[in-house]
Amino acid sequence: MVQAPAAAAHAAAGGQRAPQPWLGAAAALFAVGWGANQFSSLLLAYRHQSHLSATTADALFGVYAVGLIPALLIGGRLSDRHGRRLVVPVVGLSAVATSILMLGGVTGLGALYAGRFLAGIASGLAFAPGTAWVKELSSPPWGAVGDAQLGARRAAVALTAGFGAGPLVAGLLAQWLPDPTVVPYIAHLMVVAAVCPWVLRTPETVGRHTTAAVGPTVGHRRRPLSPRHGIDRRFWLAAAPMAPWVFAAASVAFAVLPAQVTSHTGHYEVLFAAVVAGLTLLVGVLVQPWARRLDARSEARGVQVGLALVTIGMAVGAGAASTAQPALVLVAAMLLGAGYGTCLVSGLLEVQRASHPEALARVTAVFYALTYVGFAAPVVISSLAPLADTTALLLGATVACTVTLAGVAAGRRLPGAPMRAGRTTSR
């Protein structure tokens, strides 16, 4: 491994192997991801303890995206201009958002909306710079030579692990401990306290090392760039249309499906919701190495397979809503989790291929902003409930995802499309 200068000096002074710098950036993504998603498994607890309607609970879930999307676009630009260590104070901001959510468990709805909105801002300011930071610290001179996909996979795993651990731990604590809308948040504050010293020691990468570490190359040639924002055409053909399904898949799995089977889960409905959220995102982590291998065989194949998994998962989810069978919810969660993980990794790899080096965080931010459009899926389903039942709405989502898959597949066959089958020489 080629060590960063500071890390190498530390290792020489202490006589020990230096820690891998990317781990600090990954820890930041993990902590902010935990804070972003811990709320999802508590939706049923809020509905019962605070007597919130389904529409209000889903609105609390979705207001997160209202803060996140503009923060993503701002954070990506700031990070490309001023550096990746923008993420460091944002980890603390995530803890502030959690503290406000804890207060909301006592004071009511206003603090809950404020906490979720601030959690969205923290996520938006962290995800794109943090992903770029992990990518750059996984590349020379900070990381080893030889695997152009390693940074995207590490970032996706760190983020997904945080997304999964947050709701799983929060749900378990809510099920078994008192004050289910307050106590579960303590776990996230402990995680932030644990990772902050680590994140503070993570080196900056923006500067002379950045352009050497990243770049959209095929073989040894840089891809031609479109004049708009330094984004290759491939981004708009594959990553952009797929992006909203990343979090549409995950949010439907843990915010919509558990509520369809409460008549069969009894007093353990919060626990069941936590298990569904954890299972969805655990599968999302486990599938990512496989998704990376799919991409290595043929560019954009991972995008298409991910959309196919989401399509099947939505169809099984419709069956679960129709029959109110918890077992079908678990199957749908695994399929949607696999689709989420495959689409996330494949999308980030497309972003890395489509981005100019100096615009990596900015283009990553655009991708994440598009993915978080899918976070509105539970709100849309809840809002349309007077017009159609959940089964019909999930079947509609199945059709819409099928259309997206067909569009991405057709985009690969357009004349001049830069997506080609076969392994690239850089891999």
Residue type, 423: R
One-letter amino acid of 234: R
Bridge partners of residue 421, in order along the sequence: 298
Task: Please name every residue paired with 221 in a beta bridge, in sequence order, or none if there are none.
Answer: 218
Going by the DSSP 8-state scheme, the letter that residue 422 receives in this structure is S
- Mean pLDDT, residues 273-301: 82
Distance in angstroms (rounded) separating the CA atoms of residues 73 and 366:
6
| Entry field: residues in the chain | 427
pLDDT at 164 over 90: no
pLDDT of residue 95: 97
Beta carbons within 10 angstroms of residue 362's beta carbon: 25
The Cα 30–Cα 91 span in angstroms is 10
Q: How far is it, in rounded angstroms, from Cα 368 to Cα 163?
A: 14
Q: What is the pLDDT of residue 413?
A: 62
Given this model, what pLDDT does residue 353 score?
78
Report whether pLDDT(207) > 80. Answer: no
229: left (phi over 0), alpha (psi -120 to 50) or beta: left
DSSP 148-161: TTHHHHHHHHHHHH
Interior angle at CA 87, CA 82 and CA 93, nearest 5: 125
The candidate with the shortest Cα–Cα distance to 21, out of 163, 144, 148, is: 144
Res. 4: pLDDT tops 50? no
d(CA 20, CA 10): 12
22-52 as b/e: b if 16+ CB within 10 A: bbbbbbbbbbbbbbbbbbbbbbbbbbeeeeb
Instruction: Provide the token pair at 415.
Output: 């004349």
Alpha carbons 168 and 51: distance in angstroms, whole number: 22
Structure-block tokens of residue 132: 């770029």
- Of the two residues 355 and 293, the one the predictor is more confident about is 293
The reported pLDDT for the residue numbered 113 is 94
Q: Please provide the average confidence, as pLDDT, over all residues in the chain.
A: 81
d(CA 256, CA 83): 38
**Residue 2: predicted pLDDT:** 35
CA separation for the pair 114, 104 (Å, rounded): 9
- Please calculate the CA angle 155-271-65 and round it to the nearest 5 degrees: 45
Question: Which pLDDT band holds residue 309 (cuts at 50, 70, 90)?
Answer: very high
CATH number of the structural domain 21-203+226-412: 1.20.1250.20
- The per-residue pLDDT for 19 is 62
Q: In the numeric block, which tokens belong to residue 325?
A: 């069978």
Collapse the DSSP code of 138 into the 3-class scheme (helix H, G, I; strand E, B; otherwise coil) and give the result. coil
Cβ atoms within 10 A of the Cβ of 404, count? 20
Of the two residues 200 and 357, the one the predictor is more confident about is 200
> Looking at residues 304-313, what average pLDDT do you find?
95
Residue 128: per-residue pLDDT: 85
pLDDT at residue number 42: 86
- pLDDT at residue 238 tops 90: no
Query: Rounded to two decimals, what is the model's pTM?
Result: 0.75
pLDDT at residue number 58:
75
DSSP characters over 324-339? T-HHHHHHHHHHHHHH
Handedness of CA 61, 65, 67, 68 (dihedral sign): positive
Q: Where are the domains of the chain?
A: 21-203+226-412
Q: What is the pLDDT of residues 65-104, one digit of tens each?
A: 888 888 988 888 888 888 899 999 999 999 999 999 999 8
Are 327 and 226 in contact by the 8 Å Cβ rule? The answer is: no
Residues 167, 184: Cα–Cα separation, whole Å: 9
Range with the poorest average pLDDT among 32-36, 346-350, 390-394: 346-350
Other CB atoms within 10 Å distance of the CB of residue 259:
21
CA–CA dist 187, 194 (Å, integer): 11
Give residues with Cβ within 8 angstroms of 94, minimum separation 6: 31, 32, 35, 36, 119, 122, 123, 126, 188, 192
Token digits for 290? 């496989």
Type of residue found at 100: I
First and final C-alpha spacing in the chain: 18
Cβ(349)–Cβ(302) below 8 Å:
yes
Residue keyed to tokens 């001023």? 82
Label residue 414 by pLDDT band (50, 70, 90).
Answer: low
15-29, 318-332, 408-422: which range is least confident on average? 408-422
* Range with the poorest average pLDDT among 41-45, 113-117, 311-315, 338-342: 41-45
What pLDDT score does 422 carry? 40
Maximum mean pLDDT: which of 191-205, 207-221, 404-418 = 191-205
> pLDDT above 70 covers what percent of the chain?
82
| CA 49 distance to own-chain centroid | 29
Residue 182, classed as helix, strand or coil, is coil
